[in-house]
Structure 1
């Protein structure tokens, strides 16, 4: 067992939710070996071809990661880990939202647009999309730049952005990949809509937090209206120019938005979550060309946090 590999307890939690074998040439052989290889790459950031021999063939491991990023297997595993924590009452639903910039390596640029024909590959829930179908179906919306792969060009080169929400115990609840030039507030609704923690028993998945804390980047009418419509208590500081405009209007400017200073101090949980995620070097510097593959890498890193904290 290598450093960072799954323990027996962690493997037992994941095994029931993994795709089953399709009986073709042992394609789904030894999921545990493949997951250990994927986690090794996520943790160290090495090239796929440089994976240790104990992980198995690098191409098999990469294809497993690509397919699981496309068909939602990584997201399904993350939600099951969240569901187990929620059933045990271990999720603090006082959440925080914030993005982080991810510098893209030069290997992340140059994603092909003329992809080869779809390869016929089956998974647990039927046929998995091939390369060209995956690129269209799994491409993050509003990625911007580089063909919509969640990259944008700046003076420093290609950059991307990872928007996320975190619970009060510094664990990611939802992840969204966009281009680095996208404003934080444009992905606010997408991040909150992606929160979906299933119930282990009967009942609908939980999607509404108890409260939310965010910085001034989310201080606009659209974000506040969305939170009021969903009945989510929130603490977002008012921008200086918005406050001055409100004061100039006098009575017509309305009352200032409520602000809980003590609750706002707890917003550091999302900053600490970002710090833990970026301990994974494949996430701190993006080398994945495809946006959906990078989102799978981020989801795998988030899954490790849920399993081990």
Structure 2
């Protein structure tokens, strides 16, 4: 079961980024540290199926859900997932699988079942506690960067932070790519202030205007971000926010993005 959740090629991709655990003192007689690959398989199991940590199949994986949660916290705090995502993006660029000249950005609401950071009254869910996923994708809908905010935060507040947080995508000779030439966005980003900001950064804004009838044609380019959200939310743990800690939910988002990108590489699928 471990090989089904974490294939050999995926494990070879992840293993170099995992921190080396601190050595135990010679007088320590407790249990041995659980296998990292088995713990990652438990994390992927929860991410894919949306179950609780207590439902991790310990008999099949050899690790408990508590251990998987602790390992998720440890690796999230060590910054494993964003570095993994960046490395996979570099491989995709090397293979010519990224279209970085044009990018699209959008946000998506989700319900938050528990309190915590980045939770607010959702305007699309009768004021119930919620959060919002923000996503920027390339021409093909490949997720490049994500962020998490409260459900009451406006989409436009994450436009510049997401652009600034884009990883330096390497993989070819020359400078790494850090920004698009054209950015597509919906009416929620229709502010002239941000158009000027994008122009100053050398990015051409293609943003739908409020009060203008549909049919501008921007939807033929911008739909890829909706497909990106569809891929992201196929991981059922991300459809509803269960984690109190915002950093852990964001860590799961980064892991999901890395897996989505890894699946696009030649010969990778599971």
What TM bracket, shorter-length normalisation? 0.7 to 0.9
Whole-angstrom distance in 2 between the partners of 1:284 and 1:4: 23
Are residue 86 (structure 1) and residue 111 (structure 2) matched? no
TM-score (norm 2): 0.85
Are residue 63 (structure 1) and residue 70 (structure 2) matched? yes
Which residue is 1:48 aligned to? 53
Gaps (5+ residues) in structure 1? Answer: 112-148, 244-259
Change (3 A) 1:86 1:197: farther
> How do residues 132-171 of structure 1 correspond to structure 2 at under 5 angstroms?
149-154=117-122, 155-171=126-142
User: What is the RMSD of the two structures over their aligned residues, measured on CA atoms?
Assistant: 2.4
> How do residues 200-211 of structure 1 correspond to structure 2 at under 5 angstroms?
200=171, 205-211=176-182
Higher Rg:
1
Number of residue-to-residue matches in the alignment = 252
TM-score (norm 1): 0.75
Runs of 4+ in 1 over 4 A off after TM superposition: 25-29, 200-204, 260-264
Which residue is 1:236 aligned to? 207
Are residue 287 (structure 1) and residue 242 (structure 2) matched? yes
Whole-angstrom distance in 2 between the partners of 1:201 and 1:29: 38
> Do the aligned residues in 2 keep the contact of 1:22 with 1:28 (CA within 8 Å)?
no
Whole-angstrom distance in 2 between the partners of 1:89 and 1:183: 34
> How do residues 1-309 of structure 1 correspond to structure 2 at under 5 angstroms?
1=1, 5-24=5-24, 29-53=34-58, 54-55=60-61, 56-93=63-100, 94-105=102-113, 108-109=114-115, 111=116, 149-154=117-122, 155-200=126-171, 205-240=176-211, 261-262=216-217, 264-309=219-264
Change (3 A) 1:67 1:2: closer
Q: CA deviation at 1:232?
A: 0.9
Gaps (5+ residues) in structure 2? Answer: 25-29, 265-270
